[in-house]
Amino acid sequence: MKVTVKILLAAGLTVLLAEAAAAELVERRLEAPRDAIISVQNTAGAIDIRGWSRNEVEVRGDLGRDVEELVLERDDREIRIEVRASRRNNRRISSDLDIRVPEGSTVNVSGVSTNIDIADISGDLRISVVSGDVDVSGFGSDIEVGTVSGDIQAGGRGQTGDARFNTVSGDVDVQDVSGNISIESVSGDLLIADGVFERVNLNTTSGDVVFKAGFAGNGRFDLDTINGDSDLTFKGDVSARFNIETFNGEIRNCFGPEPVRTSQYTPGRELKFTEGGGSGRVTISTLNGDLRLCKD
Amino acid sequence: MNRDDQNDIDNQIDYERDPLMLAARQLPQGIAPGRDLWPGIAAGIEEQREAPSRRGAGWNRLFAQAAAVLLLIGGSSGVTWLAMKQDAPAVATEPSAEVLKFQPVAGSFGSQYHLGAEFVEARNSLEARLDEELKRLSPETRAEVEANLNTIRAAIVEINLALANEPDNALLQQLLMNAYRDELAVMSRVDGMASSVMRRNDI
Amino acid sequence: MTMETASDESAWIERAQKSDSSAFESLYRLHVDRVYALCLRMTGNTAEAEDCTQEAFIQAWSKLDRFRGDSSFGTWMHRVAVNTVLGRMRKSNRERDRIHAVSDVAPPAESIGDSGGLRDLENAMNELPSGARHVFVLHAVYGYSHEETSDMLGIASGTSKAQLHRARRLLAQQLNLSL
């Protein structure tokens, strides 16, 4: 009896160990310049990238069983990291990558169903993923993120730059960024908080918009939405001409002036007024979305 | 404990005698959930396999009756029409969801906007490829994309119906233009994304 | 776990890694109580704990090929569960920010789990702020070292110790203990 049990146990363990050989844990390191250009590709799983002060790229990969290899190669300033799946079997390719890069790097990431987490990079960021979520924090320069259904969360350091976000159904949250921002979504909701903007371009079909940030003098703010509701709070001083049009939506305006009907017989309201010196321009159009417009 | 020295915090605790730590260790390690959670998990696992589950488009009643809608939009620079049909896509294997197909015709609508021939061409070719491109994505993502495209298309129809009453409404014309542009943008982005997927993934 | 169960478990793991879902169900039955308990104590909310548990097992299924036996399967499941809890918290915090921004309705108060058998300590644990609670649950209830705890939670090991200190102080107050 005892002997039988022991053998069973041993057999079980042997099988486990054999399985373990198939999927892989790898760790690679490569010297890299301070201004490296890093591209990372991982079709499924996770990509975690952190900036550090070393002139080195370090990759730790927890690779799926059907992954053929983890590519890490360098050509001068450019460094490429790729999870390469075998051509025949590609079911088990989900892999987690933990990457450290010089903090001044420019980083390009692409994936499909990959969750992406990036922190403490001061170079430009460019991220493209289909259904994974994207979380970027402490970034210091321009950023461009595109997803189809993944949510986007981006927290800057108050730096001034260009931020571009593009999604179909993911939600977008941006905090602590200044300069120019452009966000397009179909049904994803948008939240922009803190920072001061010169150019704002927001476009949704049904996604709601919340904006609570500053608007610089001579700035341009454009919001287009078909059915999304918008809640805009302009923090600090506002100097702008407002031109707002809605077909069926309600407008609540803290700045004072009330909307007027564009025609006696058909729906449609417009609201045009000037606040402060009128140096900037705020243009809003919506079909059915409600709008709340306030100052801090 | 009233010392703030974090390095020594750990050393302060006598795990063998500290009442709090002892009580914590004695809490039941497992707690049975109030109901059997396996069915939900089994469903989640199934979704990850190759089980395509097309979500119905869930059309709003605007299209319930119309087999074909022809709209005339008059503008100062001539007459343009956008023809729309409700199409039952001929996809062999899956139950067909209703997908509205558009065949916008190049020309002017309203006094300010112009739907160029290149736009229509780009749109048509993207649309033709879209089905193939969508197949490269997971069933879930594909369903999301289709639902969102339908959101835009429903908006296009809604705006068109409103325009039928007020052909010269500049806001409606602008919104319609935006909606077409958005639809094109979504299709081309999905196209770009899907082509970066080397092979179909069932994750 | 008995010897028999241990060998059953490794057989189930092997079969589940080959996509045998009934073997995975056996693994589920063996581990669900421990996973659910962890989720419940970390989230403080029965409904959320149920969702977390389901999501954790679904996640585990998709990553099963990467379980290598470095740790026990139970520990591995706990890691997956912790990731699930944290991921869901991030999402729901964003949701709450947005709701809070748009309307004047206050976000709903977190409901305290009430599976009828919670003792004073469980209740007191629910009152802890989330960072301290997470560390206390993993370290004090489940016995993971500070290194393991901080690794699972994605925090520094010094933070883990500080959070434990905080948890103990608050619990002692709540329970009228002198430590």
Q: For residue range A34-52, list pLDDT tens digits in order.
A: 999 999 999 999 999 999 9
Q: Between chains, do A15 and C10 touch, taking CB under 8 Å as contact? A: yes
Choice between B172 and B69, residue whose per-residue pLDDT is larger: B172
Percent of chain B with pLDDT over 90: 9
pLDDT band at C100 (very low <50, low <70, confident <90, very high): low
φ, ψ at A187 (rounded to 5°): -115, -5
Residue A17 tokens read as 């160990």
Choice between B126 and A96, residue whose per-residue pLDDT is larger: A96
pLDDT band at B4 (very low <50, low <70, confident <90, very high): very low
Distance CA A124, CA A37 (A): 9
Say whether pLDDT at C111 is over 70: no
Closest CA to A163 of A130, A200, A135: A200
pLDDT band at B114 (very low <50, low <70, confident <90, very high): low
pLDDT value at residue B129: 82
Say whether pLDDT at B140 is over 90: no
Residue from B20, B26, B35 whose CB has the most chain C CBs within 10 Å, to mutate? B20
pLDDT band at C95 (very low <50, low <70, confident <90, very high): low
Cβ proximity of A52 and A34 under 8 Å: no
pLDDT value at residue A58: 96
Say whether pLDDT at A22 is over 70: no
Cβ proximity of A131 and B134 under 8 Å: no
pLDDT value at residue A93: 87
Mean pLDDT of B139-145: 86
Q: Between chains, do C146 and B10 touch, taking CB under 8 Å as contact? A: yes
Highest mean pLDDT among B108-122, B155-169, B186-200: B155-169
Average pLDDT of the residues of chain C: 84
pLDDT value at residue B17: 87
pLDDT value at residue B87: 34
Contacts of C62 in chain A (CB under 8 A): 94
Cβ proximity of B105 and B80 under 8 Å: yes
> Given CB atoms, is A169 within the 8 Å cutoff of chain B?
yes
Minimum mean pLDDT range among A33-42, B126-135, B187-196, C123-132: B187-196
Distance CA A71, CA A160 (A): 34
pLDDT value at residue A246: 94
Contacts of A17 in chain C (CB under 8 A): 69
Residues in contact with A18: Cβ distance below 8 Å, sequence separation at least 6, in sequence order? none
Q: Between chains, do B6 and C168 touch, taking CB under 8 Å as contact? A: no
Q: Between chains, do A43 and B197 touch, taking CB under 8 Å as contact? A: yes
Contacts of C53 in chain B (CB under 8 A): 33, 37
Quickly count: other Cβ atoms within 10 Å of residue C161's Cβ: 21
Q: Which amino acid is at A149?
A: S
Residue from A5, A19, A95 whose CB has the most chain C CBs within 10 Å, to mutate? A19
Distance CA A176, CA A155 (A): 6
Quickly count: other Cβ atoms within 10 Å of residue B148's Cβ: 26
Q: Residues A117-139: pLDDT tens digits?
A: 999 999 999 999 998 999 999 88
Distance CA B95, CA A68 (A): 37
pLDDT value at residue B197: 57
Contacts of B13 in chain C (CB under 8 A): 168
> Given CB atoms, is C147 within the 8 Å cutoff of chain A?
no
Q: Residues B39-92: pLDDT tens digits?
A: 999 988 887 664 333 322 322 222 322 222 323 233 333 333 333 333 322 222
Distance CA C53, CA C82 (A): 10
pLDDT band at A88 (very low <50, low <70, confident <90, very high): confident
Minimum mean pLDDT range among B8-22, B105-119, B163-177: B105-119
Choice between A83 and A296, residue whose per-residue pLDDT is larger: A83
Q: Residues A135-170: pLDDT tens digits?
A: 999 888 899 999 999 999 999 988 899 999 999 999
Q: Count interface pairs A-C at CB distance under 8 A.
A: 75
Q: Between chains, do C101 and A212 touch, taking CB under 8 Å as contact? A: yes
Q: Between chains, do B35 and C50 touch, taking CB under 8 Å as contact? A: yes
**ipTM surpassing 0.90, yes or no?**
no
pLDDT value at residue A23: 62
Residues in contact with A181: Cβ distance below 8 Å, sequence separation at least 6, in sequence order? A162, A163, A164, A165, A174, A192, A197, A199, A200, A201
Mean pLDDT of B144-160: 87
Q: How far apart are the first and last CA of chain B?
A: 50
Q: Between chains, do A16 and C65 touch, taking CB under 8 Å as contact? A: no
Q: Residues C21-79: pLDDT tens digits?
A: 999 999 999 999 999 999 999 999 899 999 999 999 999 998 898 898 889 999 999 99
Q: Residues A171-216: pLDDT tens digits?
A: 999 999 999 999 999 999 999 999 999 999 999 999 999 999 999 9
pLDDT value at residue B154: 86
pLDDT value at residue B124: 78
Quickly count: other Cβ atoms within 10 Å of residue C155's Cβ: 16
pLDDT value at residue A153: 94
Distance CA A148, CA B144 (A): 8
pLDDT value at residue B79: 30
